[in-house]
Chains A and B, each alone.
Chain A
């Protein structure tokens, strides 16, 4: 019997609609990789695609997901409200992630009802970013979202209702441009018992940061505050801390009390990565600075310091931290240009240390924003002389003026590591 095989059988194949017949969980996966707009648009592809998107567990309303081609804030608002209402109404099933972050949407009261709606479900990840306008006052229903694992708020007013019992399983909290009262802040942190990551940027309404968080491993803060106190932060390993306002040089009479530096590091026994930004080094330095910390930071392997080399206190504080960090692997020193002129007679702060301080693990050093002043060069010299396994030091001055002079000085310094490479980067 002659077999009637088509000569090119694969030519027929392309006519088959295979994607629509993929298993449901694969289609869900594909839809979840699209922007919300593209995902919703699949509903007009065919009958099979009609309601595929309504099971999406992640709803992201941002500028890519929602296109509003208008400049008029009222039109933008109306459109956005309509779109979010529509999607929430048509959606079916669990919503695990909800993100609202349209660059032109202000904090309108319509958001209240979306949050209320979400609070009845199982939302695990809630991100609200209000890029324009006044702080948006969060409705009390937000504090009922007890399934939250990640909460991210931008430009909001945080005021939980009385009897707020906390976010019991929240592991990650990101608050930026927020306003809340002092006691509310302390209470909020306290009532997130398993918090692992905390970001706080540009806050108002509280200035004394009491961080009681036994599970915290990551803490990133930048803002204006008076003090920061850690309680039960035994596993905190990554800290980035910036104080955005300068503290005066007037030394408080703190005789008899432990220095800020000692207290700060004393409460961070597991610190591995530390970034000290803006004026925080100055904050730590305005106090009695010990030569060494009572307990060395044995786990610290990355340190970045924003420092004013012209400020004696800051230099002493930096040296104290360095002397107490025997296992440092990577160091970054970023000069903070200061309006004060450099002191005429620079006391060599480091002479005594040349023989009793070694950085036996230090491999990488980065120094940026310097002017080539004697104090700065002194620091570089100190590091090169005491780092026996240094591999690379990168030096980047603040301005090209005096670049040659700086280079000449750098060439002269003795290096205790035979492998050390010095890289000069143009500003």
Chain B
């Protein structure tokens, strides 16, 4: 039987003739053929701009191999392995071209290959492999939260950092006046009540100047949150209601002593509170903290914490290898039916790990 051919045109204008049985492997081309295109040189199928003659020929090689029925999985796998051995940029082009022709198996194959090139590499190595410009400043790299996109959560995170700095500072202050620490709780309850009832700053004499100032700030925030729409993590109105509820019910967490206890990131309630006050106020924290001449030791600690994320991003490859190796030893599949006795894995205490059954 004679093979039927179809005509394909790439974006550069060149036209070529291809076996139909090979070309129909690409869903996009198949669709065009069914629409009556490509049967003559005068009506070629024009391919998307992302397909150039070089990638087209690669794609056709791929289709030519895989359209033959009866090949074993092993044969297909070994073809694929050899097929993807090419220059990284070519691989990127091929991925893009295959994607534009909706050739999913090839997109999967090349994406996996690209992922393998990134896996476990340092940023420098990845940049070198793919010729990615190193256009971030060192400062930006250490601070992965720059608010380019207008994402409220990134702003939120920046605020958390500011808040953390403040916490540390307050903790330091508290060390000096530990005797007074017990009063703080009472005050905070009052504060909370007044916050809920809206009678700011008038409740008790006990308040120190500091807490009054804070109260005032809170009042402003409250006012502010009434004016501006609440910027919530989720956009549903029900979430907003929840936000306000939790804001009230956990208000006493906000007092200085317990805030100091929060060593890591503040809990979600604190986060929710933060998002209610979408204004510049926390930037004040930033300013005053930086200018305040903090104890160098604390400053160091702050820096360490802030950079933690960045360090995590940058940690070394050898460390990873070690971890993976040790992981390999731990992760032996566990058989709970040992020697036919059918004994289950023993439930263990805090020191040992449990075993999991995989099926």
Interface residues of A (CB under 8 A from B): 13-20, 22-23, 25-26, 29-31, 33-35, 37-38, 40-51, 54, 63-64, 67, 69, 78-79, 81-83, 85-86, 89-92, 103, 106, 110, 113, 116-117, 120-121, 129, 131-134, 154-155, 176-177, 199, 201-202, 220, 222-224, 240, 242-244, 277-279, 306, 334-337, 369
B146-161: CB near A (< 8 Å → 1, else 0) gives 1011010110110010
**Partner of B119 from A38, A223, A244 at Cβ < 8 Å:** A38
> Of the 9-residue stretches B17-25, B195-203, B334-342, which lies at the interface with chain A?
B334-342
Please state if A176 and B265 are interface contacts (CB–CB under 8 Å): no
Residues of A close to B314: CB separation below 8 A:
41, 44
A26 partner residues in chain B, CB cutoff 8 A: 95-96, 99, 107, 111
- Quick check: is B16 within 8 A (CB to CB) of the other chain? no
Residue of B nearest to A19 (CB): B130
Report Cα–Cα, A228/B131, bound state, in Å.
61
Docked Cα-Cα span, A83 to B236, in Å, equals 26
With A16-B89, A131-B354 as contacts: A278 and B342 at CB distance below 8 Å:
yes
CA distance A50 to B140 in the complex (A): 10
Known: A18-B92, A117-B233. 16 other contacts (CB 8 A): A13-B89, A14-B131, A16-B89, A18-B93, A23-B96, A29-B107, A41-B123, A42-B123, A43-B313, A90-B144, A131-B354, A133-B349, A154-B356, A155-B354, A199-B359, A220-B357
Cβ of B356: which chain A residues have Cβ within 8 Å of it? 129, 154, 176, 201
Contact of A14 among B87, B120, B156 (CB under 8 A): B87
How far, in whole Å, are A223 and B337 apart by their CA atoms in the complex? 11
C-alpha gap A38/B105 in the complex (Å): 24
Which residues, 305 to 359 on B, are CB-close (under 8 Å) to A? 308-310, 312-315, 319-320, 323-324, 327, 330, 336-337, 339-345, 347-354, 356-357, 359
A180 and B131 alpha carbons, distance in the complex (Å): 55
Shortest Cβ distance from B344 into A: residue: A244
Evaluate contact between A17 and B119: CB separation under 8 angstroms. Answer: no
A-B pairs with beta carbons under 8 Å apart, 7 shown:
A18-B96, A67-B319, A81-B264, A89-B160, A110-B267, A155-B354, A176-B357
Contact indicator B324/A64 (Cβ below 8 Å): yes
Interface contacts (Cβ under 8 Å), in number, total 214
A18–B130 CB distance below 8 A = yes
Closest B residue by C-beta to A200: B357
Q: How far is the CA of A278 from the CA of B336 in the complex (A)?
A: 10
Out of B99, B145, B313, name the residue touching A41 (CB < 8 Å). B313
- Which chain B residues border A240 with CB–CB below 8 Å? 359
Selected from B132, B239, B342, the residue in CB contact (under 8 A) with A19 is: B132
4 closest Cβ contacts across the A-B interface? A278-B342, A33-B115, A18-B92, A113-B268
Q: Judging by beta carbons under 8 Å apart, are B132 and A45 in contact?
A: yes
**CB–CB B350/A133 < 8 A:** yes
B354 engages A177 (CB within 8 Å): yes
Residues of B within 8 A of A224 (CB): 344
Kindly list chain B residues whose C-beta atoms are within 8 Å of the C-beta of A34: 115, 118-119
Whether B15 is near chain A, meaning CB under 8 Å from some CB there, is no
- B184 is an interface residue with CB less than 8 A from chain A: no
Residue B141 at the chain A interface, CB threshold 8 Å: yes
Cβ distance A388 to chain B, nearest Cβ, rounded Å: 30
Complex: chain B residue closest to A280, CB-CB: B342
Q: Is the CB of B92 within 8 A of A22?
A: yes
Interchain CB contact under 8 A, A33 and B111: yes
- The interface centre, meaning the residue of A47, A89, A277, A336 with most chain B CB atoms within 10 A of its CB, is A89
Contact of B340 among A86, A199, A335 (CB under 8 A): A335
